[in-house]
Chain A
Amino acid sequence: MLARLPDAPTIADLEIAYVERGAQLVACEMARAAAVDTLMGERALQDRWRREAGARHRPTVWP
């Protein structure tokens, strides 16, 4: 959740909100990258499974 200033904020509150938003940005980016990596990894596994399954089903001796 977006870090926001409290009522009657001080200089410290501003600095802290700045720092927290930076941390939130990094956390968001990590979550985004993790989601993308997970999706791509899942698709790579599916592609690999299909490739290996195709190789297994291919006849070894052609008529």
Chain B
Amino acid sequence: MRGPAILRTLTPWGWGLVVAGVLAAVLVGLHGLGFRWDPLGLAERRLRSAEAKTSAAVEDAAARRLEVAGAAEQARRLEHIHQLTVAVARETARATTQARSAPDADTPLDPDRVARLAGHDRELCRLAPAVCGTAAADPAGDGDKAVRAGAVAGRADDRRS
């Protein structure tokens, strides 16, 4: 039986199958040649979305790397400051102990000198209340009213513990 004779004997269902087969073969062939039928551009959108996500991930990873580097540098800096602080506290404690054990340690200061020093401290505290641990004084008012007594000298160990 020749080809045209076969076609003449096909029923409508057979024709449908033939057409479907031919279409499938054409689509497979075109796909193999690189043809993509994407009228809505979905593949392009997916590609752009994936590229955006990749770019964001790369940026995020770079930022995390820099953060880690910064944290390491900050830890090194803090460790150095901690060592210096310990050394300063140790030297201060040693000097304080020696001052207390000096032969003239209990000799009272001259009252005039004490008044001068206290006056100077009051002036410092008026100019910079935060240094003395006082509330911010009103510059236009009487600053002395806002001044409170600071820490008594000789308690360095207590405050640094």
| Choice from B88, B96, B104, B131 contacting A2 with Cβ under 8 Å | B131
Could you say which residues of chain B place their CB within 8 Å of the CB of A41? 70, 73-74, 77
| Choice from B55, B84, B88, B109 contacting A13 with Cβ under 8 Å | B109
Instruction: State the majority secondary structure of interface residues on B.
Output: helix
Q: Is the CB of A13 within 8 A of B74?
A: no
Could you say which residues of chain A place their CB within 8 Å of the CB of B144? none
> Which range holds the interface residue count of chain B?
35 or more
What 0/1 pattern do residues 6 to 42 of A give for CB contact below 8 A with B? 1011111111110110110011001100100110011
Q: Is the CB of A5 within 8 A of B92?
A: no
Would A56 and B58 be within 8 Å (CB), given that A4-B153, A14-B109 are in contact?
yes
Would A4 and B149 be within 8 Å (CB), given that A9-B114, A53-B62 are in contact?
yes
- Report how far A12 CA is from B107 CA in the complex, Å: 8
By beta carbon, the residue of chain A nearest B156 is: A20
Could you say which residues of chain B place their CB within 8 Å of the CB of A49? 62-63, 66
Q: Is the CB of B131 within 8 A of A1?
A: yes
What 0/1 pattern do residues 51 to 80 of B give for CB contact below 8 A with A? 000010011001100110110011001100
Could you say which residues of chain B place their CB within 8 Å of the CB of A23? 88-89, 91-92, 156
- Report how far A17 CA is from B100 CA in the complex, Å: 12
Instruction: Return 26 A-B CB contacts under 8 Å, by A number.
Output: A1-B151, A2-B124, A2-B131, A2-B132, A2-B133, A2-B151, A4-B153, A6-B152, A6-B154, A9-B108, A9-B153, A10-B108, A11-B104, A12-B99, A14-B109, A16-B100, A16-B153, A20-B154, A20-B156, A26-B88, A27-B85, A27-B88, A38-B74, A41-B73, A42-B70, A56-B58
